[in-house]
A = this chain, B = another copy of it.
């Protein structure tokens, strides 16, 4: 049995090593186009920034180490340029020698990943993606060679783009970040990203949203907003598309998303060809439809499971939630499942919850603010997605919610999760439990809420806005048109409120909930402004073009 693997990083190498562990007698050949295999591509931006200083720590394995441990025949500098599925052979170009040869296979695994969406070349300005060791070597050389006041243009504010920005700033580079859409980090919703955009700007990053490159000539970049930049170099993080040339030439089915179509064992339309990693379609856990999720975790896991399948075991992929996280300076942003934008676009009913808890018990030093967003199916109470932005503990809460989604735990059920509590780590009612309580209050009708982007319409329709914070908080900044009656005075002053519907709000939503409960029991028609002043401020900072469901 001979298995040929095309691509020697994440998915490909997971398949190779697992296959060896399962089958000592298997013949396993890995072709990698680049000079390195099994490197830590998620660490590359931090090598640029000098956070990771030991280059060798990124190179997890070598062909020699893989031969010794796993008896793998790993050939770097070898590009597979053709597949003959009938003869079961691949054509391989030895890049150093310039020779082409043919290698046979019994089973073939394509783990060729994805490639930059846009053409990398810009006349007169060095441009690189940030996907390979060669990329970071080239960017590192550009940083070293840059002028007294070095500057760079990063195209694309997704996960990789933001990591590139942070690490270039760390190296003293002035960075302009342009983003085609109206916000950076589009897997999250706009109001959740607003604090992150503000933080980037506070680090001197020139963040320009809804902006593209109009023209590059003679070392100058003309942006669509009229600005002209002269960056020393450009980092292209504008996104990736699946690498499907090889699959297409082999006649393999390409799916509706543009990725290689595979079944739940990662088998392509040819029974002896498997495919894993960023080049392959996944199944979305919420819709059951094909989707692209370019995450290292899935690539590794699917690589391993393909080895199981080839070794004769049953392995079936589970649908993908798209859990993801990024740290930018001191801010951590994470998501799982669908965003509100996706739900709106799909016309899928949803309920939205924003909270702003502390990362751990506030009486213990070092608690950090956190903003969370939970998206809930109003019919089934299923969790549709979550987003969390903050510092400490963001990763924990997004993982907890991801596992809850996998386990079929409802939004209200989050209240009953028994999470580990000591004051350094959380609260007796953890932020995730709190989300569950809010979800339960909405589900049972104990409270009703409106969203930050629904407030204007509610006020235009005659609602009175009641700010139930303290006079001090009110004086420090308030929503225009609000009446200030602190929650503790509400019972005594309810008669002051005009007839008609009420919108109450506080700083983060909790006192607003208490106020809404009080006023409801005084017979008033009242809704709580979800997420309070803090979410409203984040939303209001965006401008109307960036509002949820408008203009996108």
Q: Are A301 and B43 in contact (CB under 8 A)?
A: no
A288 within 8 Å of B by Cβ?
no
- Bound: A425/B313 CA distance, A: 32
Most chain B CB neighbours (cut-off 10 Å) among A323, A363, A409, A425? A363
Provide the residues of chain B in CB contact with A497, threshold 8 Å.
Answer: none
Within 8 A of B (CB), among A416-465: 416-426, 428-430, 433, 437, 444, 446
Write the chain B residue with the least CB distance to A47.
B363
A508 within 8 Å of B by Cβ?
no
Q: Are A491 and B521 in contact (CB under 8 A)?
A: no
Write the chain B residue with the least CB distance to A321.
B418
Among the 9-residue stretches A130-138, A231-239, A250-258, A392-400, the one with 4 or more Cβ atoms under 8 Å from chain B is A392-400
Provide the residues of chain B in CB contact with A70, threshold 8 Å.
Answer: 514
Provide the residues of chain B in CB contact with A425, threshold 8 Å.
Answer: 325, 327, 395
Q: Are B42 and A325 in contact (CB under 8 A)?
A: no
Q: Are A514 and B69 in contact (CB under 8 A)?
A: yes
A122 within 8 Å of B by Cβ?
no
Provide the residues of chain B in CB contact with A296, threshold 8 Å.
Answer: 421, 428
Provide the residues of chain B in CB contact with A54, threshold 8 Å.
Answer: 363
A289 within 8 Å of B by Cβ?
no
- Bound: A421/B313 CA distance, A: 27
Interface residues on A, range: 35 or more
Copies of this chain present: 2
A415 within 8 Å of B by Cβ?
yes
Q: Are B364 and A420 in contact (CB under 8 A)?
A: no
Within 8 A of B (CB), among A317-350: 318, 320-327, 334, 336
Most chain B CB neighbours (cut-off 10 Å) among A296, A324, A398, A425? A425
Q: Are A420 and B46 in contact (CB under 8 A)?
A: no
A51 within 8 Å of B by Cβ?
yes
Q: Are B408 and A327 in contact (CB under 8 A)?
A: no
- Bound: A163/B304 CA distance, A: 43
How close is A530's CB to chain B, nearest CB, in angstroms?
A: 17
- Bound: A163/B422 CA distance, A: 10
Q: Are A363 and B52 in contact (CB under 8 A)?
A: yes
- Bound: A70/B490 CA distance, A: 11
Write the chain B residue with the least CB distance to A421.
B297
Q: Are A361 and B43 in contact (CB under 8 A)?
A: yes
3 closest A-B pairs by CB: A407-B407, A24-B521, A325-B420
What are 20 A-B contacts defined by CB distance under 8 Å? A21-B513, A22-B517, A23-B521, A24-B517, A43-B361, A52-B363, A69-B488, A71-B491, A159-B422, A295-B418, A297-B429, A299-B428, A301-B416, A301-B433, A318-B416, A334-B420, A336-B418, A403-B419, A406-B409, A406-B416
Q: Which residues of A approach B to under 8 Å, CB–CB?
A: 10, 21-25, 40, 42-43, 46, 51-52, 54, 57-58, 60, 68-71, 159, 163, 295-301, 304, 313, 318, 320-327, 334, 336, 361-365, 395-396, 398-400, 402-404, 406-409, 415-426, 428-430, 433, 437, 444, 446, 487-488, 491, 513-514, 517-518, 521-522
